[in-house]
Structure 1
Amino acid sequence: MVSVQRKSLADQAADLLLERIASGEWPVGGKLPGETTLAPQLGVGRSTVREAIRQLAGRGVLQTRQGAGVFVAAADASENWGLLLRRADIVAVIEGRIAIETEAAALAAERRTSSDIRAMHEALARRITPGQTTAQYVDADSVVHRAIVASAHNAVLLEFFDGFTPRMREAMIDMLDLPSNATTCDAGVPGEDHEVHEEIVRAIADADPARAAALTRAHLTALKAAQSSPPPTERQE
């Protein structure tokens, strides 16, 4: 049986943007219109446009310049990178995240600003919003991790993180939707996992690079172990 894989709205929006870039509508070095202009053109919301831009930034097509906008960095996507992530075993993706986010957490503890700390706390609060769907919870969790990486003020680390996001999102939604994991996210209910995220942010706010890095590594290593564990055996009827 051939399985049909449906693309997310963000994936579709990224494809449409890529087509327009490849057609020469926006040349290399050119600036893209703002989200409010692109969203109705693509038939999606502004948050979907942002995610599509993050995907293309992670693939080397776009570059976001703070305070200036989004610019075309290459006319074609780095297909090798995109295909690698789509085909990669999720454990390999988590190992990549361990390398990136551990260093990012340490740098964030050294470089974070007051606005960075505020953004991390706001993201933490959204992560435990009651009544979230699994997808909303995963997206909120990703915002927390991205806020931490952004606080490192290293554009390369941030682009790598954005490149991992679509593949990781898909895997996390699938994992949390398993019946055996039905209470894992509990849609916005605080738990031990959320406390770990709070501790990481606290270490960053306290300017403690070693602790921030150690907590991040431990958290992602535990996630890797959970993904590596064999699925529960289904009872044969």
Structure 2
Amino acid sequence: MTPWPKLERGPLVPQVEAMLRERLRSGEWPAGTKIPSEATLASQIAVGRSSIREAVLLLCRDGLLEARHGSGTFVTGAERTVEDVAGLMRRARLLEVYEVRRSLEVEAARLAAHRAPAESLGALRALLDRRRSLGDDPARFVAVDLDFHDAVVGLSGNVILSELFTHARPVIENALVDRITHDGPLIDTADAHDALVDALERHDEEAAIAATVANLEETIRALRAE
């Protein structure tokens, strides 16, 4: 076993955490193995057991170690990189955005199916045509996609829903562009968008709701599964 480095003056827990983290990085403690007991580590490193306990808790919080009651503490895998954490944050933020969108847009679609005049649907179909042509440009694609959804919300005839969407749009737009730029395209929901316009044309509230849920829920499930 590699000798433990000598402790320096100063707080002990950060030093112990760094030592344990280095053992994990070096592969000396491979994934799935049980690390030495708290008492053994305290003796080897020449610190109190409380310092070992706190350092291990920090590594458990980072997902590098797992404490199993009655069995000991085990190595779970490689440390997350900054890029991994950033990706997790993007997914978490986008998931929250989609949960809010679902609440707002489902009701807007229901009302739009009841209230939208037939002459307004040509503009919606034109936006869908533009949306299809901008798949390689994340910022423009998202802008046109949200123009479409903004128009549907507007057709609901509910001023408060429209105001809510207007205020939420910058957050939605930034989250979508950031996700697509870093992690690639979202799930293709073009069929759900077409189905929504068809439902509005028929004044079919249930179909409009189903199309809106199909558009948003598939992405929500994918984000939760990642």
Category of TM-score, reference length = shorter chain: 0.5 to 0.7
Q: Secondary structure, in 3 states, of the residue corresponding to 1:153?
A: coil
Q: Secondary structure at the match of 2:203?
A: coil
Once residues 176 and 226 of structure 1 are traced to their aligned partners in structure 2, the CA distance between those partners, rounded to angstroms, is 14
Contact 1:116 1:147 in 2 (8 A): no
TM-score (norm: length of structure 2): 0.55
Q: Structure 1 110/131 Cα, relative in aligned 2: closer, same or farther at 3 Å?
A: closer
Quick one: distance in 2 between partners of 1:195 and 1:172?
A: 19
The corresponding residue for 1:196 is: 192
Aligned counterparts of 1:223 and 1:107: Cα–Cα separation in 2? 23
Aligned residue type for 1:217: V
**Residues 195 and 211 in structure 2, CA contact (< 8 A), matched pair in contact too:** yes
- Deviation, 1:172, is 0.8
Residue 147 of structure 1: how far off its partner (Å): 1.1
1:173 is paired with a residue of what secondary structure? Answer: helix
Residues 165, 227 of structure 1: CA spacing in aligned structure 2 closer, same or farther, 3 A cutoff? farther
- Name the SS for the 1:177 alignment partner: helix
Query: Which amino acid letter does the alignment assign opposite residue 104 of structure 1?
Result: A
Preserved CA contact (<8 Å) 1:123 1:147: no
Q: How many residues are paired up?
A: 135
Q: CA separation in 2, counterparts of 1:212 and 1:160? A: 20
Aligned twin of 1:113: 117
CA distance in 1, matches of 2:124, 2:97: 23
Deviations 1:43-75, CA, capped at 9 Å, x for gaps: xxxxxxxxxxxxxxxxxxxxxxxxxxxxxxxxx
In structure 1, the partner of 2:211 is 215
Give the CA deviation at 1:131: 6.8
Identify unmatched segments of 5+ residues in structure 2: 1-91
Q: Percent identity between the aligned chains?
A: 30
Structure 1 stretches of 4+ moved >2 Å: 88-93, 129-132, 225-230
TM-score of the superposed pair, with normalisation by structure 1 = 0.52
Q: Deviations over 1:114-146 (max 9, x none)?
A: 332122112111112257511000101101111
Of 162, 167, 170, which aligns to 2:166?
162
5 Å matches for 1:170-189? 170-179=174-183, 181=184, 184=185
Give 1:155 shift: 0.7
- The letter of the residue matching 1:193 is T
Within a 5 Å distance, the mapping from 1:1-237 to structure 2 comes to 89-130=93-134, 132-179=136-183, 181=184, 184=185, 192-230=188-226
Judge conservation of contact 2:112–2:200 (CA < 8 Å) in 1. yes
* Aligned-residue CA RMSD (Å): 2.1
Cα distance in 2 between the residues matched to 1:163 and 1:228: 25
Query: 1:102, 1:216 within 8 Å by CA — same for their partners in 2?
Result: yes
Q: Secondary structure at the match of 2:189?
A: helix
Judged with a 3 Å threshold, the aligned counterparts in structure 2 of structure 1 residues 131 and 196 are, in CA distance, closer, same or farther, namely: closer
User: What's the CA shift string for 1:193-226, capped at 9, x where partnerless?
Assistant: 2121011111111110001011211221112223
Q: Is the 8 A contact 1:94 1:224 kept in 2?
A: yes
Output the CA distance in 1 between the equivalents of 2:135 and 2:145.
Answer: 15
Looking at structure 2, the residues matched to 160 and 166 of structure 1 have their Cα atoms a distance apart, in angstroms, of 11
Instruction: Give the distance between the partners of 2:156 and 2:109, measured in 1 at CA.
Output: 7
